[in-house]
């Protein structure tokens, strides 16, 4: 333990994660899952019954990472059928690609053809973002803070959070968007000059997660706006967030 801390001290003033594109994330991190190709209808039904968020569908069998809270109950119950890998590069600009099916591992990525031209042209070298915690539980928010700390240091790519939407190129929403934050999300979005991007970070933001059926949730804002990036995770990992933005803005 002491040796580990000394190693960290020795690296002070140096970005601790030197290569954000190829860093290795050890367990117990749970990233993109893989599902064995042999899932019987009975096993599928059992898995669907134990999933707390309805992320598991059975016709056909799939796990929707937009709903999954990465609780590990499915892997715990059927370790030979489902396993969560340490692949953290699974942000995407296609909502339907967040579904994982049995069989060959389907990598989840940002589809270049769907990136708006102005996004890769204008934000390639610098991107300022305003974060809105819209009923969040501070878990994704903490990880977004971590993305900016000396360990991950996404600022090395010119990506930073700013205090005012007037200075921002887009918003990052965390949380399911509660009634009392719905108007604040609209106002913040309206205050950002064009062109701008919209990022949903975490399961709660992508689908409402555990809170989807709550009458205190109001997600109407998302019906009216194009979503540039979905960052799955509960909470998200800083590397998922940073790599997703780098792919969206066309960084090598
Ligand atoms: S890890 Fe995801 S898919 Fe598995 S049971 Fe939990 S919420 Fe459902």
State the distance from the centre of ligand 1 to the C-alpha of 55, rounded, in angstroms. Answer: 6
Residue 162: closest CA among 180, 188, 190: 188
Choice from 55, 82, 84 to test ligand 1 binding pocket (greatest atom count within 8 A of CB) = 55
Length of the chain: 252
Give the distance (Å) from ligand 1 centre to CA of residue 179. 27
Work out which ligand 1 atom sits closest to the CA atom of 30.
1
pLDDT, greater one: 8 or 105: 105
- Which amino acid residue places its CA nearest to atom 7 of ligand 1? 68
Residues whose beta carbon lies within 6 Å of some atom of ligand 1: 50-53, 55-56, 63, 68-74
Structure confidence at residue 177 as a pLDDT band (50, 70, 90)? very high
Q: What is the 3-state secondary structure (H, E, C) of 143-201?
A: HHHHHCCCCCCHHHHCEEECCCHHHCCEEEEECCCEHHHHHHHHHHHHHCCCCCEEEEE
H/E segment holding residue 230: strand 229-231
**Closest ligand 1 atom to 50 CA:** 5
Residue having the nearest C-alpha atom to atom 4 of ligand 1:
74
Extract the tokens encoding 243.
């790599």
- Protein residue closest via CA to atom 8 of ligand 1: 51
pLDDT classification of 12: cutoffs 50, 70, 90: low
193-228 per-position pLDDT tens digit: 999 999 999 999 999 999 999 999 999 999 999 999
Banded pLDDT at 1 (limits 50, 70, 90): low
The answer, yes or no, to whether residue 5 has pLDDT greater than 90, is: no
Would the pLDDT of 248 be above 80?
A: yes
Which stretches of 27-92 are DSSP H helices? 41-50, 73-77
Q: What is the pLDDT of residue 13?
A: 64
Q: What is the pLDDT of residues 37-56, one digit of tens each?
A: 888 999 999 999 999 999 99
Higher pLDDT, 133 or 251: 133
Ligand 1 centre from 73 Cα, in Å? 6
Residues of 5-34 as b/e, b for ≥16 C-beta within 10 angstroms? eeeeeeeeeeeebeebeeeebeeeebbbbb
Residue 114 CB neighbours (<10 A): 12
Atom of ligand 1 nearest to the CA of 69: 7
Higher model confidence: residue 42 or residue 4?
42
d(CA 30, CA 65): 12
What is the separation of C-alpha 82 from the centre of its chain, rounded to a whole number of angstroms?
A: 20
Nearest CA to ligand 1 atom 6: 71
CA of 134 to the centre of ligand 1 (A): 23
Arithmetic mean of pLDDT, 92-114: 93
CA-proximal residue: ligand 1, atom 2 (nearest): 68
Atom of ligand 1 nearest to the CA of 84: 1
Per residue in 129-162, pLDDT tens?
999 999 999 999 999 999 999 889 999 999 999 9
Task: Ligand 1, residue 47: give the atom nearest the CA.
Answer: 5
* Rounded-to-integer distance, Cα 92 and Cα 231, Å: 7
Q: Is 80 exceeded by the pLDDT of residue 192?
A: yes
* pTM score of the predicted model: 0.93
Q: How many CB atoms lie within 10 A of CB 216?
A: 11
């Amino acid at each position: 333990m002491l040796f580990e801390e000394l190693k960290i001290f020795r690296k002070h003033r140096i970005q601790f994660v030197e290569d954000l594109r190829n860093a290795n994330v050890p367990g117990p991190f749970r990233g993109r899952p893989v599902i064995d190709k042999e899932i019987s209808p009975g096993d599928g039904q059992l898995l669907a019954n134990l999933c707390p968020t309805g992320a598991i569908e059975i016709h056909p069998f799939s796990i929707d990472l937009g709903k999954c809270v990465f609780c590990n109950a499915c892997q715990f119950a059927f370790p030979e059928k489902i396993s969560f890998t340490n692949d953290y590069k699974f942000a995407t600009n296609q909502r339907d690609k967040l579904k994982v099916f049995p069989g060959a591992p389907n990598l989840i990525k940002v589809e270049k053809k769907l990136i708006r031209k102005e996004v890769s042209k204008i934000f390639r070298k610098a991107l300022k973002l305003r974060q809105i915690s819209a009923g969040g539980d501070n878990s994704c928010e903490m990880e977004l803070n971590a993305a900016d700390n000396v360990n991950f240091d996404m600022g090395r790519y010119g990506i930073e959070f700013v205090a005012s939407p007037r200075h921002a190129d887009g918003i990052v929403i965390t949380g399911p968007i509660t009634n009392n934050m719905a108007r604040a999300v609209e106002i913040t979005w309206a205050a950002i000059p064009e062109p701008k991007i919209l990022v949903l970070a975490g399961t709660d933001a992508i689908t409402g997660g555990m809170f989807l059926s709550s009458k205190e949730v109001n997600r109407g804002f998302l019906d009216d706006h194009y979503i540039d990036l979905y960052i799955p995770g509960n909470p998200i990992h800083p590397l998922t967030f940073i790599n997703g933005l780098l792919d969206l803005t066309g960084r090598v």
